[in-house]
């Protein structure tokens, strides 16, 4: 029996992970661009490739979905 389950990302929809990143852990050039924020959110592929850094968790999820990706929280 092969019944698709809507709660799980489909095979053609690649998963990306969203996780908080401490700004202090980023390279100097990125810290200068970010400003006085302590935490940003990384959107990255399962292989670790960072696709984006954004200021807000909701924005990270929206950005992923707008690009036909399936975001999942990672801690």
pLDDT at residue number 35: 86
Nearest partner of 37 among 63, 57, 18, 66, judged by Cα: 57
Residue 34: phi and psi, rounded to 5, are -80, -40
Residue 40: phi and psi, rounded to 5, are -125, 175
Q: How confident is the model at residue 7 (pLDDT cuts 50, 70, 90)?
A: low
Tell me how far apart the alpha carbons of residues 48 and 13 are, in angstroms, rounded to a whole number: 17
pTM, rounded to two decimals: 0.77
pLDDT at residue number 3: 55
Determine the average pLDDT of the residues in 66-75.
92
- Cβ 74 vs Cβ 51: under 8 Å: no
What confidence tens digit (pLDDT) does each residue in 19-60 have? 999 999 999 999 999 989 999 999 999 998 999 999 999 999
The SS3 assignment for 72 reads strand
């Amino acid at each position: 029996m092969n019944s698709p389950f809507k709660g799980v990302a489909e095979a053609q929809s690649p998963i990306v992970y969203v996780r908080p990143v401490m700004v202090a852990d980023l390279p100097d050039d990125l810290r200068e661009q970010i400003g006085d924020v302590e935490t940003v959110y990384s959107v990255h592929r399962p292989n670790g490739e960072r696709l984006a850094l954004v200021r807000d968790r909701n924005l990270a999820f929206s950005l992923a979905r707008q690009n036909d990706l399936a975001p999942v929280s990672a801690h």
